[in-house]
Each structure stands twice: as C-alpha cells, then as structure tokens.
Structure 1
C-alpha cells in the first residue's frame, strides 16, 4: 500500500509539473529555442574572429620589426588588423552594390552558399536585425487585388520581386485567419502606419481605420483613381 501510495504521489507530482509547464520536455525545448536564437549570432561572431585572426597572423612580421626583442605582438598590429578587416568588409559591400556584383553574388549564394547548413538562417537573421530585410507584418498596405476599387488592409510577408509582393489579409475580428494574395506593385498602396496600430483596426472590426488614411495616402489614392479614369 505504501509503495502504491508513493507511486501515485510521484505520478501526481509529474502531472502537476506537466500542467504547470515545467516538465523536462518543456525545459529542454525552451533551452533549444534559446540556443537556436543565439546560434546565428555566435556563428557570425566566430566567422569575424577567424577573419581577424587570419589578418592578424599576416601582420605579425610587422610586429617583429616594431618591437624587436619582445615576444608579445605590438599593439599596432591589433589596430592594423581591425582596420584591414573593416576595409575588407567595405570592399565586399561595395562589390555587391553594383548590378554585376549582385548577379555573381546571387549565383554563388544560390548554387553554393545555400547548401551550407544554417547559412539561410544566419543570412535572414542578419538582414532582419540590420533592416536590410523587413520583418513579416512590418509593412502595412492597402491592396485592390481584383481592381474593383474596394481596398483591403494587409501586411507584406515577402517581396517576391520589385514588381510583385505577397500580402496577408487578416479577417476580422480574428486576425490569425485570413487570405494570402500575390499582388503586383501597381495594386498596392504602402502606408506609413505601425503594424500594431493597423492590427487593432482589424480586431476592432474596422473601428479606428481613419488612421490608415492620412493626407498622403488619400492623395495617392486620388491620383491612382484619376490615372485609371
């Protein structure tokens, strides 16, 4: 009886831990989420460290000339290594700014770099944190996908090309449901409104939608209507 009682207490304690969300599986998954979040940053820092050490080793002979008789590298070598690293990063950035550089880089990325594990994760993380790539739902738009004059509140989830966007249009009052449209650029009106503010208009069944239509938005809509007529 005592053994069964202890077993029942153990199972009850485990169930309580599971219900409270502090089970072993929950703790493990939470730790993995934290590790996956920090992993791209750690990979980037490690790659920069390797490049810095490579440049540093190339400049070690200069240290020998500057500090004869000393085993420690001269402090100027560290500064020179950092300067060379920054110049190298600048030249790479300058290279991919022109059309031919972008073409060759995208070719290299598509055929080789994308095959490297975690490369896409690191790239997307860096682009999102640096602002080079917009986070999903960060850009609020009005779309007229059927060209009927009826506008829908949507959120850009991906820029397919310069002339084509993927837009999520949530349903009210539950914004977790909705429709996905692949919309050409001419059917989209970009708004200078925060995504949280626009989402509140969806949850509130359209109440407060006037925040979406400032003077600039109304002027652009008027110009589009005039051009179509």
Structure 2
C-alpha cells in the first residue's frame, strides 16, 4: 500500500507543482492587466467602458499582452533608434537620486545573467566547499575586479554556490582557478542535479573520454598542522 501511494505521489506531485506555478504567474499577469483596465475606465469617458469590460472576458489576455509587449520592446531595442532612445533614458535614470542606485544594480545583474556576451552561468564547476575534501557544484560568474582583484595573487574566478533544493539563494566565493574542476555537463543539467539533491544525475557522455579520478584529498589538500616545539608547549602551559 505504501509503495503504491508513493508511486502515485511521484506521478502527481510534479504536475501539481507545475500547474500551481503557472496558475500563480497567470494570475499575477491578469491582476496587473486588470488594474490597468480599471485605471483606464477611471480616466476615459463612459463610452469606452463597454469595450474595456469586453476585454476583461478574454481568457489569458494578460499573458498575451505581456508577450506582445516584450516582443515589441525587443524589436525596438535592437534597432539604431531604439538603442539611442534607451541610452538617453538610461542617462536620465542615472541622474535621479535613489533611483540610480536601484536601476544601475538591477541592470548590471540582468545584463550579466541574460546577455549573450556575458560569462555568468556559462560553466558548471566542482569546488571544495565548505571544507577541504567536501565537493559541491558551483557556477562561474566572472572574475574578481577592482580593489578585490588587486588584493588577490594569481588567477581567481568568481563562483556562485547555490543551495539545495532552492537554487535562488546561495553563496558567493572567489577562489583560485586552479582549485576548481570544469564539468562537462551543461548548466541546465547541473541545476537539475542540484535541485533534485543529487537524485537526477546527468547521463554520462559516451563521446567523451572518462575523467581521471580525483585524488583522495582533493586538488590542494591543506598542509598538516605541525605540533609546537616542546619549549612553546611549556610556555603555553605556564
């Protein structure tokens, strides 16, 4: 009985979570679009209320409007006139106190994560964390810069170590490039591996040779701590 219940749960749980997430997203979009329609009714004359009420009855209209708006914005942003207008708007936002701090931070993060020229989340690696000998999957987000880079000797990389099963939170590390191991799995496969807590392992690639086994102590095991000299022990005891 328990086996059948667990089997049924494994079938329905992913579907239920997927439907719940999609319903929440669609509800949010419809709520925003409904607020826009209500605001339009308050501003426009009474003759326009009929068509606006008719728009409320169209199913998934909020999702359709968002998709069309994103497509039109993308077309506008990829031509010369649109790029010039966006640059001018960005300059105006960067001159407004408080707004410039929020806008610039969000823009830097979004450009890093979603730009096709960025390096964020383009490579999955293995790194020893939180101690030597314990390995976890991380994603390279770039290289240290500014004062931080000047304080570090040698080549370092910036890593994002996500938590399990929620990868939206995690830890930011800066480690030597020689202490990370590049993985052949894709970023999507690595995320699935992390979210499933290691249950959904990516399939091995038959076209690639097997990786050599890792040393027992990791890439760079810590040096053993030497015991203090006898006279130092006597001083500490005194």
Aligning the two structures, in what range does the TM-score lie when normalised by the shorter sequence? 0.3 to 0.5
Normalised by the length of structure 2, the TM-score is 0.43
In the superposition, the TM-score normalised over structure 1's length comes to 0.44
Which has the larger helix fraction? 1
